[in-house]
Structure 1
Amino acid sequence: MRLLDPPVLTEAEWTARQAAHERRVDAWVEPHQQRRRAGQAHPVWDFLFTYYSQTPGRLRRWHPGLGVVLTGPAAEARLDWPFHTRVGPGVAVDVEAFLARRSTAVGWVHGLLSATAGRSAQFGCFGLHEWAMLYRPGAGEVRHEQLPLRLGQAGTDAVVDSHRVQCSHVDAFRFFTRAGVPRNTLTPTRETQQQLEQPGCLHATMDLYKWAYKLSPAVPGELLADCFELAADVRELDMRASPYDLSALGWAPVAIETPEGKAEYVAAQRRFAARGTVLRARLLEVCRALLDDRPPGAVLS
């Protein structure tokens, strides 16, 4: 990744890209912050800011990515940001400092994304992970209590009983109810994540956003925003296909308990997987560039 003649952006060039990034993500950030100030929860969109640890402020923070030098007085402030250094006429990502702290994480993310990219997408889960999270709930296992169930508890349980649940994603599976766990055909764990994650999975697609911000500031802001936007689109489908009744929020259900609903779900799932394939490849390019630039002796998982 070491460039003898790295691209240099003038202040006018990079601040225009920064402003465009901020406008783009503010479509989600500003309503979220307004709700927080008002003490209002949102059962769909809060997930993007609570389950994912990236703060709104850091999401708004645009980076040019690896090997790009920002010039002008405004760039000087970035010298106080983590993993930035002076390069020639301006400021750029400090790859050496980044790898000194995060080379193991970069190696793990590269391994996960590579394994996922090399696996065939599966489209037969029909979003039943959300149903298994509500299957015959015990004490303390009720989620989103403010939302009614479209089919009631008995109807929700019946859908799970009549389907094959085959969730491969550890961070969905870990929210299954105690009764829902044995209904799954797999037992995904953190240790088996690289062996089980597959590109048709909605949660694996949403998590591209997580890997993008974990790799920041090495990831360009435009790629981070692309991953966030895809995560938001997938989140909407995930909840519309869930047992919850979202009609009060203006969303019609994707009734996966019916043949028509299953077809609608799989069609959307395929579109999201196609978008995810492109973004996963772009994230892998960042990982490879970092690993090619790792210092001697860097530890990789």
Structure 2
Amino acid sequence: MERPTLSRPTWLARRAAHEARVDGLVAPHLARRRTGTRHPVEDFLFTYYSHRPAQLRRWHPGYGVVLASAPEYASVRGYRPVAGGLSLAPSELLSRRESLSFVRSVLAGTLSRPAQFGCLGLHEWAMVYRQSASDVRHDAYPLRLGSSGTDAVVESHRMRCSHFDAYRFFTEPARPLNALSPSRASQAVLEQGGCLHANMDLYKWAYKLTPLVPSELVADCFELAREIRVLDMRASPYDLSALGYEPVRIETPDGKAEYASAQRSFASRAEPLRRRLLDQVEALLDAA
């Protein structure tokens, strides 16, 4: 990989811009955390995913970039002195080789397949199928159609969820109703670009490769995932009108069309991010 050098004014400006951007994105979550308030939509990216707000805020230029006049990074894990400044050490790259190979297989596999737009977000419905009220994940919010109505929606549709990390939260009675049986082992051959969770997971793959990839790319993936989560929950069986979310009524023809249109839009926006991330991974594997 080329080893560009960023002058101190240049990297300080990039770091400050990144920090300000992230501060704006995470401020509501941090405010709720201080008061112990939960939000089923906006908190998801910090409860389901393991990357904390402080980690998201921390700026890295990516592997192979030299930071000139950067004593602040001398004690940061993974950095070492090189000609012209500080840069991430090869050991930081080599220790991630297995992860890089797995992420490449998932990203490349997803890009190789046509996106599918017929799932209707039924994974959220399958997660509460035939479940008692006390066991429902977001029990502070009612089901729009009640338990029996929710079950009827699941039973009247053909589920084809391809995403393992959504499928694994299906209730036991819901799993046999899915046309596929996704597993971690089959992830690289089943993921497809129409899936909301596969597109949210671009954030996961990006942050798992921190500090090897530029922090701006991680933040780009976070912003997309944040927007996708809103659609994910608007199309869910929960009534979130108290939080200001109008439902996407996927049980109706108009709701189905609305969901598929939004799904296509997110797939189009996710594709260039997926390609950018894959390009980073390929370059890192070449360097390793």
- Distance in 2 separating the partners of 1:66 and 1:59: 17
- Distance in 2 separating the partners of 1:136 and 1:121: 30
The one-letter amino acid of 1:79's match is A
- Distance in 2 separating the partners of 1:122 and 1:83: 40
Q: Work out which of the residue numbers 30, 42, 45 in structure 2 matches 1:45.
A: 42
Q: CA deviation at 1:138?
A: 5.2
SS of equivalent residue, structure 1 residue 291: helix
Q: CA deviation at 1:59?
A: 0.2
Aligned residue in 1 for 2:94: 100
- Runs of 4+, deviation exceeding 3 Å: 138-141
Q: CA deviation at 1:46?
A: 1.3
Q: CA deviation at 1:102?
A: 1.2
Matched, 1:286 2:280: yes
Aligned residue in 2 for 1:240: 234
Q: Give the percent of matched residue pairs that are identical in Structure 1 and Structure 2.
A: 59
Aligned residue in 2 for 1:82: 77
Number of residues paired by the alignment?
Answer: 288
Q: CA RMSD in A?
A: 1.3
Q: What residue ranges of structure 1 are gaps of 5+ in the alignment?
A: 295-301
Matched, 1:190 2:223: no
The one-letter amino acid of 1:36's match is R
The one-letter amino acid of 1:76's match is P
On the 8 A contact 1:117/1:277 being kept in 2, the answer is: yes
The one-letter amino acid of 1:66's match is Y
Q: Any idea what the Cα deviations from partners look like across 1:98-144, whole Å, max 9, x if unmatched?
A: 23321111111111111111111000000000000011115974210
Q: CA deviation at 1:11?
A: 1.6
- Distance in 2 separating the partners of 1:169 and 1:230: 18
- Distance in 2 separating the partners of 1:34 and 1:291: 39
On the 8 A contact 2:125/2:236 being kept in 1, the answer is: yes
What TM-score comes out, normalization by structure 1 length?
0.93
On the 8 A contact 1:141/1:177 being kept in 2, the answer is: no
SS of equivalent residue, structure 2 residue 86: strand
Matched, 1:225 2:219: yes
What TM-score comes out, normalization by structure 2 length?
0.97
- Distance in 2 separating the partners of 1:270 and 1:80: 44
- Distance in 2 separating the partners of 1:231 and 1:139: 28
Q: Any idea what the Cα deviations from partners look like across 1:189-239, whole Å, max 9, x if unmatched?
A: 111111111111000000000000111111111111110000001000000
Q: Work out which of the residue numbers 56, 61, 68 in structure 2 matches 1:59.
A: 56
Q: Work out which of the residue numbers 16, 30, 35 in structure 1 matches 2:32.
A: 35
On the 8 A contact 2:93/2:212 being kept in 1, the answer is: no
Q: CA deviation at 1:67?
A: 2.3
Aligned residue in 1 for 2:256: 262
- Distance in 1 separating the partners of 2:83 and 2:134: 57
Q: What residue ranges of structure 2 are gaps of 5+ in the alignment?
A: none
The one-letter amino acid of 1:62's match is W
- Distance in 2 separating the partners of 1:269 and 1:193: 20
Q: CA deviation at 1:21?
A: 1.0
Q: Any idea what the Cα deviations from partners look like across 1:59-111, whole Å, max 9, x if unmatched?
A: 00111123221122xx22212222212221211222x1123321111111111
Aligned residue in 2 for 1:299: none
SS of equivalent residue, structure 2 residue 96: helix
- Distance in 1 separating the partners of 2:82 and 2:39: 43
On the 8 A contact 1:70/1:92 being kept in 2, the answer is: yes
